[in-house]
Structure 1
Amino acid sequence: MKIKNLIGLLIIGLVIFSCKKDDNNTVDFDAAAQAIEDDNTLIEYLQSHYLNEEDGGIWTVTNDESPLMNDSRLNVQNVVKDDISYKLYYLKQNEGVTVSPTVADSVLATYTGMRLDSVVFDTRASVIWFSLTGVIDGWSYGFTNFKGGNKVIAEDESFYYENSGKGILFIPSGLAYGNIAQTTIPANAPLIFEFELHAVNDADHDNDGILSINEDIDGDGNVKNDDTDSDTIPNYLDSDDDGDGILTKDEDANEDGDPTNDDTDGDGIPDYLDADN
């Protein structure tokens, strides 16, 4: 079976974006057990399929071809989410040449998303920007293993990218949509994404003078669970992180452009995180 044959091209538009889960669907769901099952499923897939270098397609092994599992470019990334360990597999066809994004940055990419049964559920042939804070976790973590390409501008001011990061992500359902079925994606479905990473943008989502990745106060690699003033708005989206009525960007007492190194009352807490300074 060849993945490149679009046996059901169903473009549903940016399905990589994360969705809010319905609590009614999570009752009695064993996410840890599903993570183990997904890993077994992905391993079986990687052992029974290979990458055809001639056409770039993923085919079923039928004649002693070397499977993906034996490809030296295949790597595994361990991701812990909600105290559950997941294995995210990625095949690095080209690393890229510029910089790697963090989980809080934005990327310019093209991609094709597929189920393990080869059905293509989403594709994007022209470049588009994505914030890695607003997509499925498999993307957020997987893209950090690649780098962007070089931008080449032609005489007519059109441009393209060369030496871009290029690879394939093999994502367990727990880092995709979990047990929440989507329009063309069943519940608990591991997914495959072929992609090219063309450019990376260091993100400051709330324009407060602090890069979003640096608003990971607890240092766990997840910027979404840091909320200093407990207003339900994570710091990377909150222009007043400590809720004292003073914008974070205005708490730069020494005016060096960095609010993180100002501690007026000397208590070890930067002013922008200290409501009593």
Structure 2
Amino acid sequence: MKINKLIILLAFILSIVACKKDDKDNFDAAEQALIDDADLIEYLQTHYLNEDDGGIWTIDNGQTPLMDQVDVDLIDYNDISYKLYYLVQEEGTTISPTTVDSVFTTYTGMLLDSTVFDSSSSLVWFKLSAVIPGWSYGFTNYKGGNIMQNPDESFYYEDYGEGILFIPSGLAYGNSVQSYIPENSPLVFQITLQDVKLTDLDNDNVLSIDEDLNGNRDMTDDDTDGDGIPDFADTDDDGDGILTKYEDINKDGNPMNDDTDGDGIPNYLDTDDTESIEDL
């Protein structure tokens, strides 16, 4: 009898696992994007930013809703259109990162029910190529600040970027559970952007920010030689067999200002240039 009960229990557990697998397999990310957008709009219409304590509170006395203060970032990701809402409290004063640069930030992450699932009041560096897409794209709407030095040689930042990101689940963790974050959860992040470190991801002496040739913030759709490797990750951007960093004819460390044949296309993007530096 005990064996029969055990078999029945095992079958029940397996059926639950199978159902969950079917749910994952049948997941409609485009439909979820619409659900998330409706949830975010409702949240933005019913909450406000309390200027006194910097917190986000439910409207109870005619306060200005967040919906009246946010901007919208339209993002195509994995062939699905998303709306990322963001509020700029302070734009910042220096430079904006690309989606593959690094940011020096403090942050607080919340669910729409105000549950705080992560935060850091200490400054920490993040590579935007290694975080959720909502961060990768969201931070590009802000700029870093100016570094200031104290007499004891410690430092701090002034006039840095600050704001709030309202991220649909498709630009966060999707239909996966992450610790305190349930599946299909839109996320809210209050962030600062205090410094930006521009990267040269492929070490070709051209900053990644300069390899976004069409300026659309999508680093993956710029592929000069059509080899399937986007320029920011390609050490030979024009596919001429000469590494980009060795097409720096004047040896000033910048391949972008070398145009041997004078056609307006720098050598490292031009398969028709007539001179290149050999590998030293």
Amino acid at match of 1:237: A
Report SS of the residue matched to 1:129: strand
Segments of 5+ residues of structure 1 without an aligned counterpart are 1-22
Instruction: Choose which of 185, 203, 210 in structure 2 pairs with 1:207.
Output: 203
Aligned to 1:52: 50
* Larger relative contact order (Cα-Cα within 8 Å, sequence gap ≥ 6): 1
1:155-194 matches, cutoff 5 A: 155-194=151-190
Aligned-partner SS, 2:129: coil
> SS at the partner of 1:121?
strand
Contact 1:150–1:163 (Cα < 8 Å) also in 2: yes
Report the alpha carbon displacement of residue 90 of structure 1 after superposing the two structures with TM: 1.0
Query: TM-score, normalization: structure 1?
Result: 0.77
| Matching residue within 42, 61, 70 for 1:63 | 61
Judging changes above 3 Å, is the alpha-carbon distance between structure 1 residues 234 and 181 closer, same or farther for their aligned structure 2 residues?
farther
Shift, 1:258, TM fit? 3.1
1:63-98 deviations in Å (ceiling 9; x for gaps): 33332223xx32222222233221111111112222
Structural mapping, 1:65-80, within 5 Å: 65-70=63-68, 73-80=69-76
Further displaced range: 24-33 or 73-82: 24-33
Q: Distance in 1 between matches of 2:179 and 2:205?
A: 39
Do the aligned partners of residues 246 and 164 (structure 1) sit closer, same or farther apart at CA in structure 2, a change above 3 Å counting? same
Q: What amino acid is aligned across from residue 39 of structure 2 in structure 1?
A: T
Whether 1:138 and 2:134 are equivalent positions in the alignment is yes
| Letter aligned with residue 92 of structure 2 | G
Q: Structure 1 260/89 Cα, relative in aligned 2: closer, same or farther at 3 Å?
A: same
Q: CA RMSD in A?
A: 3.0
1:271, 1:193 → 2: CA distance?
42
Offset of 1:247 from its aligned partner? 3.3
Deviates more, 1:242-251 or 1:112-121: 242-251
Query: Do structure 1's residue 117 and structure 2's residue 113 form an aligned pair?
Result: yes
Q: CA deviation at 1:164?
A: 1.5
Letter in 2 for 1:56: G
Match of 2:17 in 1: none
Once residues 24 and 269 of structure 2 are traced to their aligned partners in structure 1, the CA distance between those partners, rounded to angstroms, is 35
Structure 2: gaps (5+ residues) = 1-20, 274-280
Structure-to-structure mapping, 1:232-251, within 5 angstroms: 234-241=230-237, 246-251=242-247
Q: Structure 1: how far apart are the matches of 2:271 and 2:181?
A: 45
Q: Distance in 2 between matches of 1:86 and 1:209?
A: 33
Q: 1:240 to 1:193 in 2, by over 3 A?
A: same
| TM-score using structure 2 length | 0.77
More helix by share: 2
